[in-house]
A and B are shown apart, each in its own frame.
Chain A
């Protein structure tokens, strides 16, 4: 989309104007995340440039502190438990919803998707008061249940997406060739939906890993997660250890982003949708 030779002044203004503006917006998006990375290596407890020297003391602080380590462990625990549970529930539901004979698809879908739409604070306060009656507040089980409810819609959506355009005749072909239902699922359905399951699982993990509103209400000091720990840190005293934690989380999100992009391309290739 190069500028043609006959372009006049107005065209040139627009051409460069859009590029400059877009560049600024991209800078706005990415700069805040990149600015904090070097600051986490600051030798002093300041948040300003230029930095007096480099050091790893905030990372040592992060890995040496029992509080941060427990938060990291809790976050990973809730993330993995949520991922497994929501992948199981979400995949089953997506398979059921994709069948043409499923009744009341509209209302059921609306209910299943609702955790993505309802403001988190409503869900968190509702769960806090309701779970208290069942003794689930300040427990690991309560946190896993809550996070799974919030995360499963993502699995349903990603698996449903891999099932759109799914040719049901493939199942009949498998059956007519003598495959039993289990084999059909394992050899035909599963390879088709696997990319959706995995990227849904990643979404589920990130939902749990990043979630803080529900954790504010349901997690006691024993169940504190990384974002919950960061929340307290920001509210009380902004220490550079938070930036070390933030930098590690940025690295983690880059890994997630790359994985999901690769899966998406693979899925599109498998289903014959070219970009």
Chain B
């Protein structure tokens, strides 16, 4: 309800002049208010769509859309669809391949489809590049034999199966690989061989580290949140600063602090040796321990704040009633108090877990090679191996996991109850 709609509605008498019924004019003004509200939101909505949603949509699309072979070797991709998949293809397929290789090599873009095929089967890159170099010198007669003479792998059914599988613009190859699955010769989904199976391990590791961090946050937060909720407001506010200061401090500052503290000759090792608890410096960083400690420190405020706000709202009468009815303190705590804090526990745990699953910076800086999480491999495939389809597939797995967790969170807590600070 804005002033403008009101003033325009009151400026004209209700029944005179316009010839429109009251009902129609009400409907019109209703529409206009809706439009005004929509226009206020529209700039941000469009902004988020273009700068944020579209990039992510396109990234996820890349996980299934992989046209490198279909575009790079168009004739072969088309003709091989009719292949029976049992024996080495006919001469016609080799003719198409020779033409595709010739064009692509001359235009210096053979590496694109060759690299894509190499993801499916290592060795394909060199096989195609070699054929690309030689194809110009081939006679146009009996190409099949010349290809096989140049490299016997052209006479293997497996080579052609790889080309056929990659010849479609749409593929589930990368998504399956992200879960350590692949398609067998007959098209069934099977597990990849053990030496290629790395992604499920990373996925388990990501969830395991996140679960450890969540558990550590809960264990550390519960007593502190309880104390903060039950202390006099003045003391509680003072102590709350200790919770909020890390919350406001730069992530990089906190990660740096942990590196300085946990180094072999760092403050923690010094203190421990002074107290006689360690005989020699202990490796505390660039391993799992360092990752869990640093991530717990970073995410702790996100557990304390929801727990605190729930505990603050619990009236003490239930605990008193239980005690007066003869329950011992443990029963009062476990059967009466804890159940009332469960909404806060659930909200805090989910929030911390969601944030932990997507973590990149802290594990990358304080973890060892065996402690890197899913995010690290998304970055690795984007920057180092340049296998963007694989990066997209791993991102899709991470995205799906986050979405599921978030759906649970919003059902439990509600988006509108999200508070800051």
Contacts and interface: CB of A to CB of B under 8 A. Distances in A.
Contacts of A148: 47, 51
Interface stretch (B72-80, B130-138, B156-164, B235-243): B235-243
Interface in A204-250: 206, 209-210, 212-213, 216-217, 226-227, 230-231, 234-235, 238, 242-243, 246, 249-250
Interface in B314-364: 329, 354, 357-361
A250 B402 CA distance: 31
Contacts of A125: 59, 378-379, 382, 391, 395
A21 interface: yes
A171 B243 CA distance: 39
A142 to B, nearest CB: 9
A93 B39 CA distance: 9
Contact of B3 (A49, A109, A174): A174
B40 A92 contact: yes
28 contacts: A18-B223, A18-B226, A26-B224, A32-B254, A32-B257, A35-B260, A48-B265, A89-B43, A93-B41, A96-B37, A97-B37, A115-B48, A117-B402, A120-B358, A121-B395, A121-B398, A122-B358, A126-B59, A127-B55, A128-B382, A129-B388, A130-B58, A145-B51, A176-B6, A227-B250, A253-B245, A261-B421, A264-B421
Nearest to A19: B227
A43 interface: no
Contacts of A19: 227
Nearest to B59: A126
Interface in A86-118: 89-90, 92-93, 95-97, 99-103, 108-115, 117-118
Interface string B374-397: 010011001000001001000100
A123 B378 CA distance: 11
B245 A257 contact: yes
B82 interface: no
A127 to B, nearest CB: 5
A181 B399 contact: no
Interface stretch (B87-95, B174-182, B412-420): B412-420
A19 B223 CA distance: 8
Given A129-B388, A171-B2, A35 B267 contact: yes
Q: Which of B30, B55, B266 counts the most A-chain CB atoms under 10 A from its CB?
A: B55
Contacts of A175: 3, 6-7
When A and B form their complex, which 10 residue pairs have the shortest distance between CB atoms, in order from nearest? A119-B358, A96-B40, A130-B55, A175-B3, A126-B55, A126-B59, A96-B41, A32-B257, A93-B44, A121-B375
B251 interface: yes
Interface residues of A, number: 107
Contacts of A33: 245-246, 249, 253-254, 257
Contacts of B254: 32-33
A220 B27 CA distance: 54
B10 to A, nearest CB: 9
A35 B6 contact: no
Contact of A102 (B34, B246, B267): B34
Interface in B254-309: 254-261, 263, 265-267, 270, 297, 300-301
Contact of B329 (A10, A115, A230): A10
A47 interface: yes
A126 B43 CA distance: 21
Given A1-B232, A118-B402, A234-B256, A212 B251 contact: yes
A256 B244 CA distance: 11
A171 B3 CA distance: 6
Given A145-B51, A253-B248, A157 B231 contact: no
A68 interface: no
A260 interface: yes
Contacts of A111: 45, 48-49, 53
A253 B257 CA distance: 15
Interface in A143-176: 145-146, 148-150, 152, 154, 156-158, 160-161, 168, 171-172, 174-176
Contacts of B185: none
Given A10-B329, A108-B45, A149-B52, A212 B361 contact: yes
B66 interface: no
Interface size classification for chain B: 35 or more
A121 B401 CA distance: 14
Contacts of B419: 157, 161
Given A129-B62, A257-B241, A25 B47 contact: no
B224 A102 contact: no
Contacts of B4: 181
B248 A102 contact: no
A55 to B, nearest CB: 18
A119 B399 contact: yes
B148 interface: no
A213 B355 CA distance: 14
A117 B415 CA distance: 11
A268 interface: no
Contacts of A3: none
Nearest to B220: A25
B56 interface: yes
A21 B187 CA distance: 58
A198 B44 CA distance: 18
A10 B359 CA distance: 41
B230 interface: yes
Contacts of B258: 32
Contact of B58 (A90, A129, A264): A129
Interface in B97-135: none
B233 interface: yes
Q: Which of B233, B365, B388, B421 counts the most A-chain CB atoms under 10 A from its CB?
A: B421
B190 interface: no
A235 B239 CA distance: 34
B205 interface: no
B230 A158 contact: no
A5 B34 CA distance: 64
B54 interface: yes
A73 interface: no
Contact of B51 (A11, A103, A146, A253): A146
Given A112-B48, A243-B260, 20 more contacts: A22-B227, A33-B257, A93-B44, A112-B44, A119-B358, A120-B360, A121-B360, A127-B55, A148-B51, A149-B51, A157-B420, A158-B420, A172-B3, A181-B4, A234-B252, A235-B365, A243-B256, A246-B253, A253-B249, A261-B244
